[in-house]
Structures are given as C-alpha cells and as structure tokens.
C-alpha cells in the first residue's frame, strides 16, 4: 500500500490539547496527509469506531480514568486488525512489552515523535497486507465451501484436518464428527487396502494419485467416490494431503446398469426366444442372431455374403404395406410392432411380429417373434369356440326337440295302438281297413321322425355293444348298393386289424345309411362313393384336432363322394336340425343332425370337408376300445298274452287308457293309476299278488324309478318295466338302462308293448327256475 499522497484517517485518543498538536505536527513532518479526529474517553471512542471508518488509531498511554490498554481492548473488539500505536512519555520497556502482547502494533515515546511517521507507514502497509491475505483466504474458503466437489485435508498419518461442506454431504456426517477421524474409517472394509496403498504412495512424493472406492455412510448406505490425493505436506501454508472427492455413484450405477443391459441383451440374443437383426435402411441384413436365422432358414454365411434382404423375404401380398411402414423410419425413427409374413429359404411361410428402430443412420435394429405357435393356438381356439358354440346350439335345440318328441310319442302311442287294434278287429275285406292302414303308416312315419329327434338330442335309449365297423359296413353292403342305384360306384376300403368300438348297432347303421343317402343325393348324375375305415390316434403333442375330441385312440369311418360339394355357409349349418338343401318332398333336415347326435352320445364326433364341384367327405370318429365283438341272436318268438296282474301308473289319460286296453286284450289283469300317489294306494289295497309295475318315467311329484323303488320295498317280488317318450338326465340319474331296469321306448304299439311285457315276465320266470 502506498501511504504518501493518500489521506489517512487517524483516530487520536488524547486528553491533552498540547500533546495532540505535537502528534499532529509529527505526522505532518513525516510528509503524511492525515485527517485526525480526537476523542478523550471510552464512550467517545466507541462512538467514533461505530460511526466512521479508520485507518489507524494513535493513543496516549495514560488518560484520566482511562488508559491505552483499555482503549486497545475497545478497538480490538470493534476492528480486530486495525493498527494501534501507543504514544507515551513515561512507558517503560516492561509495560511496552505487555502492550505489544496485548495486541498493540507499536509504541513511540513522546521525546522521539520523529519515529511516529515511519511507524504509521509501516503499520499501514502491514495492515494492507493482512487485509489482502484475509480477502484471499475468504475467497479460497468460499470457493472450497461453495464448491460441489468435496475437499478434505489429511495429516501425514491420514487424520482428517478439514472437510468441506460438500464432503460432509457425501459422507453424511457433521464436521465435528469428521475432523479427527482417520480417513480409512470412511471407506468400505473391502476397499480400505486401496485407500491405504494410494495414500502411502502419495506420502512418498509430491504426487497426485487417483482411485475409486466405496464409502459407507452412518446409515449403512454405500456410495461410490472417486478421489484424487495430492501431497502438499511440504507447503508451509497447507502442510496436508489435499484430497478432492467426487460422488460417482450415479455414474457407477449407470455403468452397472449398462453392463447388465448389455448382458441381458446378449443373453436375449443368444436365448433363441426372439430374433434380432441389424440392417441398412434399404433392408440389406448385416447381422442376425441364430433365432432369426432359424426363422428365415438362411445361414450366417448367406448374411455375410449380403444375400439376404428384408424386402425379398416379405410375402408378395404384404410388400406394399411393408414399404409404407418403412417410411416411418425416416420420419419417426422407428416402426411400431406389426404382424407380417416372411418366406423362408425353403418356401415355407412364417408369421412374424416385427418391431424396428433406427439406431444410427443408416443402421436399424429389428426384433422378431415367431407367431407360428400363437397362430396355431388361435386357430385351435377358434375351432374349439366353434365346436362349443355348435354344441351349445345343438344342446338348446336338442332340449326343445326332446320335449317335443316326448309329447309326440305319447300322442303317437295312442294313434298307433288304436290303429293297430282296429286293424286286428276289422275283417280283411272291410273297406275301412285301407283307411286305418294309412293312419297306422302315417303314425309310423311320425314315430320315425320323433326317433330321429331323440337320436339328435341324445335322449334315445341305446343298447351299446362291442362292434367291428368293418363287419357292420360289410353286412350293409347289399342294402347300400340298392339305395345308391346302378349309376353310383360303391368302393369299400376296410382297414386291416381295425379296432373295435362300443356303440349301439342300429344307431351306427343309421349313421352309415344317412351319410350314404346324403352322398347319393349329392351325385344326381352318378359318381363314386367311398366308405373307408381306419385306426387313428389323436396326439396330445399336436395342435387340437378339428373334431375337438380329446387325445386318444379312435376309429375313423369316412364317407366320401364325388358330388356337387358345399360352400362354407352350408357346411356351417348342415348339422342343424331341420336344415336341408333338398326339396321338402325329399328331406326333413334331420338326417345329419341325427348323425351328429348319435356320435355325440357315443363319445365321438363328425367333421366335414367339402369344396364346390369337388365332392364331400364326412369323417366320423368313435372311441376305440378293447373287447371282443358281440354277436346278436335273433329274437325268439314270444307269446304276447298272459294272466298276470299288472299295476299301470301313467299320468297321460289317453296313453293309460290305450295301454290298459292292449294288456286286457292280451288277458292280463290291469290295475290303473293316474299318479304315483294313486299307485301307492292301489298297491296297498290290492290283496293279491302284483306281478309287474308298468310305469311312465317322468311324472309329476315323483319319477317312475323312484316309485318302483318304494313299491318294491313292500312287494320285493314285483317286476318293473319303465316306459317314456324320451330319456333325460333324470332317467340317467335313476339308473334306467337296458342292463338295470327294463325300458320300453314310446311310441309303442300293441305288439311292442305286449312283447316287452311278456319278455320281462318270462325272463324273471326263467331266472327263478335256475
């Protein structure tokens, strides 16, 4: 600081006016330009210090009630660095030394005031240097303490001497906790050797060393830090190892995440789950993983030779759509996933789900998923849903058909029975006989229709046996040839070693007959009809079978014609009851629905394949079973009369009346009841033996089987014969089958009723004899 020529503001503490003038002249003689203000006591001094800025304080040693040391204390309290010079005429060396120790800058004797000027100049220069040093120190501290990079000063042995606020934030400790702690205490135990080795290397020379280690915070959290240690132990102003620290946790996490991502990508590329390729924007494939190469059937050598191009792989019909999508690469930098089809090297079409993104122009990366299995599953699901919808529709129609058939069979039982009884009563020459015969024949045709309805709705009582379909078709050969006529060639292809099925023989024959008649009608100008049998296995490892049948062994009966064929709309409806493409005079629309019901009841199924002008093939599947083929014996002649007593329980009055009439004509004693309750009462009132209970199955309040169970508890020897117009779940639940309780299907005729009653009575008698 240059003192001369600069106005110096000096605060003079002096109670003597004359001495104040002497001090002023001494300063002026020294050539200093000064502005002096004088105070005489402590209060004035404090006021002056608080209201004005001063460069120097000059104080007399002794004042009344107030001395230089007290003044020094007041000045130091207000401005610790302000130069303070004592002027005295009586101060001794000892007291001067005390004053200097107390903080005085210098002392000048009044008899040597010539030394005052140089002393002022010297102290002002020192004061200026102290101020500059303090400003520099403040700037340095601000730079350190406001910096985002942490700074720590360590001693030679590693003890922390200073820690910046940024370092405190990183380590999660307060300054008083950190200072005095050894630097190794902050490092992760596994990384302490790294810190120790680095610091040792730094101490051996004036060098800087860097390292990355983990640091443990008080809460146990780990942070990655990068530190640079510099040896400044020889610098007298620093005398420490300076450690600059940066928190690199985010960078490490990002690096770890990147490595993990790269590892996952590499694993994904190698897994074979998804196809990955890189290509130019023009579609030339540059590289691909094995999964993608397997999808397209090309080798890595083909790709390396530049022989594989994405546009060339796309199915021709999808090329235009692919080009439109590729335009998004230039505008958006990506193409959203879309479904497409590629042509493998061997010509096989492969459905793919593809997504493309621009990595760095002109390189793109594409991800491809093979949709072959999904498409198969979707097709299988659609097939299953179609089967389910069809089954539900057939079930609903079947319930309606079964109900209608039940009511019709009651009516037809009356019509057929009375017609047959009239025929028995009329003389062969009676002119009315022809009319009654027509009534009887019409009733039989109606009965055939209801029987078909019951077959379709799976409510027909069947008598399944072990059958050989080759034998069944062979037995029908002559009849089928008569049905087909001379202009249709019948070809039979019987599989050798054909397995057996468990089915009702007459139902199977009806399936064959209905399919053959349909085929004949589809070949009005002649053709060829093929009936083939085959052992087949539906494999669980393959896609679901079109029939919807569960995996297992089956017998296939296929009926194929070379006729007109059907369109898809017709194929979708052919198994619906009453649907027909024939004239009303030629078909009822129940043929194929009956086939459908028979096969469903037997645990099988039927599917159709047809093309317009190419013919039609019906494929019927029945479960294959192990067993010996059961041969049928001709029914023995049965006398249709008797003298036994029969309890007849039937809620339909007309059916009850006609059944009673038939049985009484045959010699039986009949006790009739209109309800199960009435049957109970009559059974209890009758004193004699009741040989048979003849009951309807479905009646109000109680079923026929339940009635039989209760009555047999009091008449255990009484036989039971059930009859019904249809069989529903109640019949199955109560165990009605040909092997348990004898059953008569309505509509009955006098002959069928009398024959069945006699069969049951005679069979029981034979068992008693044995």
351-409: pLDDT as tens digits:
988 888 887 778 888 888 888 888 887 777 776 676 667 666 666 666 666 666 667 77
Give residue 269's pLDDT: 57
Q: Is the pLDDT of residue 730 over 70?
A: no
Which of 76-85, 206-215, 390-399, 530-539 shows the lowest per-residue confidence on average (mean pLDDT)? 390-399
In sequence order, which residues have a C-beta less than 8 Å from that of residue 361 and are 6 or more positions away? 281
Q: What is the pLDDT of residues 88-122, one digit of tens each?
A: 877 777 787 888 888 888 888 888 888 888 888 88
Give residue 733's pLDDT: 44
Cα angle, residue 527 at apex, residues 525 and 532 outer, rounded to 5°: 150
Percent of residues, the chain, with pLDDT higher than 70: 85
Phi and psi at 256, nearest 5°, equal -65, -40
- What mean pLDDT comes out for the span 69-86? 90
d(CA 186, CA 215): 6
Q: Where are the beta strands (DSSP E) in 410-551?
A: 465-467, 488-493, 500-503, 527-538
Q: Is the pLDDT of residue 214 over 70?
A: yes
Q: What is the pLDDT of residues 320-350, one digit of tens each?
A: 777 777 777 777 777 788 888 888 888 888 8
pLDDT, the chain, mean: 82
In sequence order, which residues have a C-beta less than 8 Å from that of residue 362 and are 6 or more positions away? 280, 281, 282
State whether residue 331 is helix, strand or coil.
Answer: helix
Q: What is this structure's pTM?
A: 0.40
State whether residue 158 is helix, strand or coil.
Answer: coil
Q: Is the pLDDT of residue 723 over 80?
A: yes
Tokens (6 digits) for 682: 């009559």
d(CA 92, CA 735): 139
Cα–Cα distances in angstroms (integers) from residue 81 to residues 34, 66, 123, 326, in the given order = 20, 22, 11, 78
Q: Is the pLDDT of residue 722 over 60?
A: yes
Give residue 268's pLDDT: 57
Phi and psi at 486, nearest 5°, equal -80, -20
d(CA 256, CA 261): 8
Phi and psi at 39, nearest 5°, equal -130, 155
């Amino acid at each position: 600081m240059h003192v001369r020529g600069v106005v110096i503001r000096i605060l003079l503490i002096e109670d003597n006016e004359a001495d104040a003038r002497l001090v002023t002249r001494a300063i002026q003689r020294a050539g200093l330009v000064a502005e002096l203000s004088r105070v005489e006591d402590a209060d004035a001094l404090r006021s002056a210090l608080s209201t004005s800025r001063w460069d120097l304080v000059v104080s007399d040693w002794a004042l009344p009630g107030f001395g230089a040391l007290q003044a020094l204390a007041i000045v130091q309290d207000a401005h610790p660095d302000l130069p303070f010079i004592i002027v005295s005429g009586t101060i001794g060396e000892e007291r001067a030394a005390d004053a200097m120790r107390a903080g005085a800058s210098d002392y000048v004797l009044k008899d040597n005031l010539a030394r005052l000027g140089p002393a002022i100049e010297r102290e002002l220069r020192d004061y200026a240097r102290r101020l500059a040093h303090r400003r520099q120190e403040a700037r340095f501290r601000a730079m350190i303490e406001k910096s985002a990079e942490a700074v720590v000063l360590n001693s030679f042995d590693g003890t922390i001497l200073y820690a910046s606020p940024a370092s405190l934030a990183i380590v999660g400790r307060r300054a008083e906790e950190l200072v005095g702690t050894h630097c190794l205490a902050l490092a992760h135990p596994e990384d302490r050797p790294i810190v120790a080795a680095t610091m040792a290397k730094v101490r051996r020379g004036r060098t800087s060393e860097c390292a990355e280690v983990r640091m443990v915070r008080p809460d146990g959290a780990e942070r990655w830090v990068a530190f640079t240690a510099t040896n400044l132990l020889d610098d007298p102003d620093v005398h420490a190892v300076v450690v600059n620290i940066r928190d690199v946790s985010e960078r490490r996490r990002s690096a770890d995440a990147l490595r993990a991502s790269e590892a996952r990508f590499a694993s994904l590329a190698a897994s074979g789950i998804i196809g990955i390729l890189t290509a130019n924007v023009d579609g030339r494939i540059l590289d691909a993983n094995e999964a993608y190469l397997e999808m397209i059937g090309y080798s890595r050598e083909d790709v390396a030779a530049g022989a594989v191009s994405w546009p060339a792989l796309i199915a021709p019909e999808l090329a235009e759509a692919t080009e439109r999508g590729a335009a998004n690469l230039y505008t958006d930098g990506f193409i959203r996933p879309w479904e497409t089809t590629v042509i493998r090297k061997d010509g096989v079409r492969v459905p793919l789900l593809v997504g493309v993104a621009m990595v760095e122009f002109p390189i793109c990366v594409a991800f491809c998923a093979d949709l072959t299995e999904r498409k198969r599953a979707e097709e299988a699901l659609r097939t299953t849903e179609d089967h389910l919808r069809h089954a539900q529709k057939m079930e609903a129609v079947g319930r309606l058909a079964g109900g209608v058939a039940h009511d019709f069979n009651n009516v037809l039982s009356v019509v057929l029975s009375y017609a047959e009884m009239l025929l028995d009563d009329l003389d062969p020459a009676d002119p009315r006989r022809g009319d009654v015969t027509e009534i009887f024949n019409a009733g039989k045709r109606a009965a055939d229709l209801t029987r078909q309805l019951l077959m379709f709705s799976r409510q027909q009582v069947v008598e399944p046996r072990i059958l050989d379909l080759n034998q069944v078709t062979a037995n029908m050969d002559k009849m089928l040839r008569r049905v087909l006529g001379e202009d249709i060639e019948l070809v039979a292809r019987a599989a050798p070693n054909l397995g057996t099925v468990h089915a009702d023989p007459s139902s199977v024959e009806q399936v064959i007959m209905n399919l053959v008649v349909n085929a004949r009608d589809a070949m009005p100008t002649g053709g060829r009809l093929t009936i083939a049998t085959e052992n087949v296995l539906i494999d669980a490892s393959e896609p679901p079978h079109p029939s919807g049948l569960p995996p297992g062994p089956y017998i296939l009966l296929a009926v194929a014609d070379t006729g007109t064929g059907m369109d898809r709309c017709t194929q979708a409806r052919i198994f619906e009851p009453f649907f027909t493409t024939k004239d009303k005079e030629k078909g009822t629309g129940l043929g194929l629905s009956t086939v459908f019901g028979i096969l469903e009841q037997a645990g099988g199924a039927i599917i159709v394949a047809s093309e317009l002008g190419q013919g039609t093939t019906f494929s019927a599947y029945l479960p294959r079973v192990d067993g010996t083929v059961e041969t049928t014996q001709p029914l023995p002649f049965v006398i249709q009369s008797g003298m036994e007593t029969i309890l007849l329980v039937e809620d339909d009055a007309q059916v009850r009346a006609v059944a009673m009439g038939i049985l009484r004509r045959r010699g039986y004693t009949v006790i009739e009841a209109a309800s199960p309750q009435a049957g109970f009462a009559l059974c209890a009132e009758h004193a004699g033996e009741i040989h048979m209970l003849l009951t309807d199955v479905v009646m109000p309040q109680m079923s026929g089987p339940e009635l039989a169970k209760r009555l047999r508890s009091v008449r255990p020897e009484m036989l039971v014969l059930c009859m019904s117009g249809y069989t529903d779940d109640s019949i199955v639940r109560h165990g009605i089958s040909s092997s348990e309780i004898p059953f008569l299907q309505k509509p009955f005729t006098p002959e069928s009723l009398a024959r069945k009653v006699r069969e049951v009575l005679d069979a029981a008698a034979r068992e008693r004899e044995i």
